[in-house]
Amino acid sequence: MVIRPTTSRNLSRLLRIPTQCRSSSQSSSVNAAEVSHFNNLASTWWDPYGSSRLLHQMNPLRHDFISSCIESQPDPTSSTNRRYLDVGCGGGIFAESAARLLWTKSVVGVDPSSQVISVAKAHARQDPLLLEPGRLEYQNKAVEDLPIPRIPEEQFDVVSLFEVIEHINRPAPFLSSCLPFVKPGGWLILSTIARTWTSWLTTNVVAEEVVRLVPRGTHDWSKYINEQELRRFFRAQDGWGRDGGLKSQGCMYMPAVGWRMVPGGEKWGNYFLGVRKDSTRS
Amino acid sequence: MIGRGFPKAPRSYICPSCSRSFKLQSRRHATAASPDVYDVVCVGGGPAGLSLLTALRSSKATSHLRLALIESQDLERARTWNLPPDQFSYRTSSLTPSSLSFLSQIGAWPNVDTSRVQPYRHMRVWDGLSSNSRISFDALTSEPPIASMTENQNLSRALITSLDDLPIISLFDKTSVADIHLGPPLSFPAESPTSLDLSSYPHVTLSSNHTIAARLLVGADGVNSPVRTFAGISTRGWDYDRHGVVATLKLPPGTGHSRENPQRVTAYQRFLPSGPIAFLALPGDYATLVWTTTPPQATRLKALSTEDFVAMVNAAFRLDVVDLNYMFTLDSGQVDELEWRESVHPGNKADLGGETPQHIASVQEGSIASFPLRLRHASTYTTNRVALIGDAAHTIHPLAGQGLNMGLADSRSLASAVEHAVLHGADIGNEIACLDRYNEEMWMSNNRMLGAVDKLHWLYSATSGPVVGLRGLGLRTVDALGPVKGWFMRQAGAL
Ligand SMILES: Cc1cc2nc3c(=O)[nH]c(=O)nc-3n(C[C@H](O)[C@H](O)[C@H](O)COP(=O)(O)OP(=O)(O)OC[C@H]3O[C@@H](n4cnc5c(N)ncnc54)[C@H](O)[C@@H]3O)c2cc1C
């Protein structure tokens, strides 16, 4: 049942893993293969019936999870003027939606693939709201290449990593490099999939081998990370997750119903995890 | 043409600061004909379109959206519609409790003149061919009425008034749609990479030559929806070869149920082979008639003198089908014919203790009209940046009085999909992020309703054969089974 949102987002992430490993934003030399790859992506990323459909359908749940994290704070902040950093923004499904929210001040989306950033920028032009200066900005960079913020004003209320870490070779240093971008009292929010027999079956066997929903090799099951492993990582971080500021929530795609939050689902399938940077360090 | 109550102002989804930037943007790249961009452009100011706009305006999450309404009629006339208490419009609809709750929720119901609305708690339905099969629906006094008869104009006036009370909306009335087309494609990459790309936005050119662009274009433009044509959405269905003859009936002074005993007000429907005839009480000594019949019989009815028309209506609720058919062959003289037949069969004359409606006395002058009846269902309600609601999406046989209720349910559903989308940052014109939700919620349930009403029509069109016996059995069985009947009643009021 846990059909992985196997999508061009993931596919493209796979294809751009070399770029990501080099941690480099120097990928501007455009060759014919990349152009046709870009064209492919451009036509499917926002195609309602394309391979990103499941991701589009999941997007509202991301906002619901973020809201539930913020509402669970002992000191729920008034939610206006929120700043977002979306790491691995792909074609901009989440970044665009975050930028449209009434309480959003600005969104920065970063992705090391220049092709998907072009897709994201081209798509944002369809919405006059998103063209408002400062509202939505895309940078063709790996997060490691962004300047580390020094003051809270440069930091973000929400740093999001949706369907990213399962594609990263060494997740711990990658997560560590995301932490400085979160404002004190802000949240790091991620979604990924647990490494269980269910997920191995549904994503590697069913989605790739049987249904061929995605090309073989899109998923590397050994890179999946369990919720307990992430909890352990964040508990070890000083200044994070105090006062219930570490939350997770399973979710599942049900055919004919769509995505639903499923309590306990974090143990065996897709899940969200949010961790809060303590608002004051004592 | 901008209506008085709707000052036009550049307010937007885009929020004040960004609408400014958007204007700069468009000025930089636009040609002289650069369109105004609205979040929602609704074509059609009937009950479906008006209720959608009212719903969007009344919800906190969507009240900032920039809305435009295009309506070919003069909405000022609808706004100032007024009839004396002894006259009723022949376009009346039975509003179900869920329609009423929706109208209350969006703040429109308080603007309805309820002295002109007639709720009913009882219904008598019977078969013209097997007269001992009857079904009665009775809501308890404590329960909500089965439905409330409301003039369409009373409802439209209330909706327009509530829009006047709410913040601004751009209104183009006495204006029809001249053309709908997509925005020009960008000559990528020659254009500036930051220029606005409206190539996916429907652009509506008005009869005034003004063009506006829509993030979401709503077709609430009735059966022959130009928006549906633009979107290339096909429809399925057929014409029934039947007309609905409507009229405002007058009862003998002082005999209207509503006055004597409001709790007893009853709706009557008799299934004749050509289609059902329905008597729906209005306040005081008035009622509305909806008589489904063949086009030649409709023509005959409309050609009769008022007295003979009245005799035909009284006959249709009482006489045998054979007798009624005979009376249809007469050019005139139905009054005498009915009198004679009732004197021969005095049983026909009695009102059977409330089992048939009382004899009507006359018909309000100029209130007889007829409409062709058809079934149409759009293959989908949505495509990219387009949604259809109301009769543009589905046209139903009036025998269950559901058409307008279905349109209101569409509005409620689409408004809530838009609300969900706005609260989750989605583009409200996007199918997956917004419109699919509406289509999935309404298409199947409307399709079931269309199918059920269509089957009823064909079932009761049969004049002979086993089906006549079976349907009598059906009505008797349903009547005998309390819980099943309750289910039927809920279905009737479900929309
Ligand atoms: C005999 C009969 C009895 C009925 N009884 C009932 C009943 O008891 N209960 C019930 O619920 N329903 C009933 N109905 C159905 C009900 O009247 C309709 O379903 C309802 O009016 C549909 O509302 P709407 O807003 O979708 O469309 P409409 O009321 O048809 O409104 C469409 C609007 O769009 C405008 N328009 C169209 N084209 C353009 C254009 N190009 N440019 C600008 N404007 C345009 C039109 O002027 C019109 O105002 C009955 C129908 C009939 C025929």
Whether the CB-CB separation of B86 and B115 falls below 8 Å is answered with no
B243 SS3 class: strand
- Percent pLDDT > 90 in chain A is 43
**Does the beta carbon of A97 lie under 8 angstroms from any beta carbon of chain B?**
yes
Read out DSSP for B306-362? HHHHHHHHHHHTTS-HHHHHHHHT-SS-HHHHHHHHHHH-HHHHS-GGGTSPPPP-E
Whether the CB-CB separation of B148 and B119 falls below 8 Å is answered with yes
B391 CA to centre of ligand 1 in angstroms: 6
Q: Rounded to 10 degrees, what is the CA torsion of B380, B383, B385, B387?
A: -10
Give the per-residue pLDDT at B446: 92
- Name which of A63, A122, A129 is nearest B424 (Cβ-Cβ): A63
Atom 50 in ligand 1: residue holding the nearest Cα: B398
Q: Which atom of ligand 1 is nearest to the CA of B373?
A: 53
Other C-beta atoms within 10 Å of B187: how many? 7
Residue B493 identity: G
- Output the six-digit token pair for A266: 């974090």
Q: Kindly indicate the confidence band of residue B191, based on its pLDDT and cuts at 50, 70 and 90.
A: low
Whether the CA torsion A143, A149, A153, A157 is positive or negative: it is: positive
Atom 4 in ligand 1: residue holding the nearest Cα: B398
- Name which of B22, B64, B197 is nearest A126 (Cβ-Cβ): B197
Chain segment A244-281, per-residue pLDDT in tens: 899 999 988 877 778 888 888 777 788 999 999 998 64
A71 SS3 class: helix
Closest CA to B167 of B63, B76, B78: B63
| Chain B neighbors of A99, CB-CB under 8 A | 425
Asked whether B98 lines ligand 1 (CB < 6 A), one says no
| Chain B neighbors of A121, CB-CB under 8 A | 193
Which segment of A54-68, A114-128, A239-253, B446-460 scores lowest on mean pLDDT?
B446-460
Are B15 and A97 a contacting pair at CB < 8 A? Answer: no
Q: How far apart are CA A107 and CA A102, in angstroms?
A: 12
B187 CA to centre of ligand 1 in angstroms: 41
* pLDDT of residue B261 exceeding 90: no
- Percent pLDDT > 70 in chain A is 72
Whether the CB-CB separation of B215 and B37 falls below 8 Å is answered with yes
- A274 a known binding residue? no
* pLDDT of residue B471 exceeding 70: no
Region A6-29: mean pLDDT is: 34
Closest CA to B122 of B140, B97, B102, B149: B140
* pLDDT of residue B9 exceeding 70: no
- A86 a known binding residue? no
Q: Kindly indicate the confidence band of residue B286, based on its pLDDT and cuts at 50, 70 and 90.
A: very high
Question: Which chain B residue is nearest to residue A47, measuring alpha carbons?
Answer: B432
Taking CA B258 as the corner, what is the angle to CA B256 and CA B263, rounded to the nearest 5 degrees?
Answer: 130
Whether the CB-CB separation of A256 and A245 falls below 8 Å is answered with no
Give the per-residue pLDDT at B425: 97
User: What average pLDDT does the structure give for chain A?
Assistant: 79
Give the per-residue pLDDT at B242: 93
Give the per-residue pLDDT at A44: 76
Asked whether B398 lines ligand 1 (CB < 6 A), one says yes
User: What average pLDDT does the structure give for chain B?
Assistant: 84
Taking CA B459 as the corner, what is the angle to CA B274 and CA B449, rounded to the nearest 5 degrees?
Answer: 105
B76 CA to centre of ligand 1 in angstroms: 18
* pLDDT of residue B21 exceeding 70: no
Whether the CB-CB separation of A8 and A218 falls below 8 Å is answered with no
Q: How far apart are CA A15 and CA A90, in angstroms?
A: 12
Enumerate residues 61 to 80 of chain A having a beta carbon within 8 A of any beta carbon in chain B: 63-64
Model-level pTM? 0.86
Atom 14 in ligand 1: residue holding the nearest Cα: B403
Give the per-residue pLDDT at B353: 60
Q: What are phi and psi of B97, to 5 degrees?
A: -55, -35
Task: Write b or e for each residue in A164-195: b if 16 or more Cβ atoms lie within 10 A of its Cβ, otherwise e.
Answer: bbbbbeebeebbebbeebbbebbbbbbbbbbb
Cα distance between the two ends of chain B: 35
Which residues are CB-contacts of B467 (< 8 A; sequence separation ≥ 6)? B459
* pLDDT of residue B399 exceeding 70: yes
Give the per-residue pLDDT at B193: 65
Residue B396 identity: I
Are A97 and B193 a contacting pair at CB < 8 A? Answer: no
Give the per-residue pLDDT at A180: 97
**Does the beta carbon of A255 lie under 8 angstroms from any beta carbon of chain B?**
no
Whether the CB-CB separation of B156 and B115 falls below 8 Å is answered with no
Region A43-62: mean pLDDT is: 81
* pLDDT of residue A189 exceeding 80: yes
Give the per-residue pLDDT at A206: 62
**Does the beta carbon of A101 lie under 8 angstroms from any beta carbon of chain B?**
yes
Give the per-residue pLDDT at A46: 82
Which residues are CB-contacts of B11 (< 8 A; sequence separation ≥ 6)? B19, B64, B66, B167, B168
Whether the CA torsion A125, A130, A131, A136 is positive or negative: it is: negative
Q: Kindly indicate the confidence band of residue B464, based on its pLDDT and cuts at 50, 70 and 90.
A: low
Whether the CB-CB separation of B160 and B302 falls below 8 Å is answered with no
Whether the CB-CB separation of B147 and B131 falls below 8 Å is answered with no
| Chain B neighbors of A129, CB-CB under 8 A | 13-15, 18, 22
Which residues are CB-contacts of B433 (< 8 A; sequence separation ≥ 6)? A56, A59, A60, A97, B421, B424, B426, B427
Closest CA to B219 of B60, B320, B367, B69: B69
- Output the six-digit token pair for A279: 């608002």
Q: How far apart are CA B282 and CA B272, in angstroms?
A: 23
* pLDDT of residue A2 exceeding 50: no
* pLDDT of residue B19 exceeding 50: no
| Chain B neighbors of A102, CB-CB under 8 A | 15, 64, 422
Are B426 and A59 a contacting pair at CB < 8 A? Answer: yes
Read out DSSP for B411-451? HHHHHHHHHHHHHTT--TT-IIIIIHHHHHHHHHHHHHHHH
Chain segment B403-434, per-residue pLDDT in tens: 999 999 999 999 999 999 999 999 999 999 99
- Name which of A59, A99, A125 is nearest B197 (Cβ-Cβ): A125
Give the per-residue pLDDT at B469: 55
Chain segment B77-134, per-residue pLDDT in tens: 999 999 999 999 999 999 999 999 999 999 999 999 999 999 998 888 888 776 667 7
Can you state the angle between helices B482-494 and B466-480, rounded to 10 degrees? Answer: 100
Q: Kindly indicate the confidence band of residue A168, based on its pLDDT and cuts at 50, 70 and 90.
A: confident
| Chain A neighbors of B201, CB-CB under 8 A | 126
B401 CA to centre of ligand 1 in angstroms: 13
- Percent pLDDT > 70 in chain B is 81
Residue B404 identity: L
Residue A208 is given by DSSP the state: I
- Output the six-digit token pair for B403: 């058409």
Give the per-residue pLDDT at A204: 64
Are A126 and B200 a contacting pair at CB < 8 A? Answer: yes
Whether the CB-CB separation of B255 and B238 falls below 8 Å is answered with no
Read out DSSP for A105-153? EEEEEE-S-HHHHHHHHHHHTT-GGGGSTTTEEEE---GGGSPPP-SGG
Region B236-245: mean pLDDT is: 92
- Name which of A59, A104, A129 is nearest B433 (Cβ-Cβ): A59
Distance between B188 CA and the closest CA of chain A, angstroms: 10
Asked whether B205 lines ligand 1 (CB < 6 A), one says no
Q: Kindly indicate the confidence band of residue B13, based on its pLDDT and cuts at 50, 70 and 90.
A: very low
B9 CA to centre of ligand 1 in angstroms: 29
- Output the six-digit token pair for B347: 């049983």
Give the per-residue pLDDT at B470: 55
Cα distance between the two ends of chain A: 45
Distance of CA A126 to the CA centre of its chain: 22
Is A165 or B312 the better-scoring residue by pLDDT? B312
Chain segment B297-322, per-residue pLDDT in tens: 999 999 999 999 999 999 999 998 89
| Mutation target among A58, A64, A129 for the B interface, most CBs of B within 10 A | A129
Residue A207 is given by DSSP the state: I
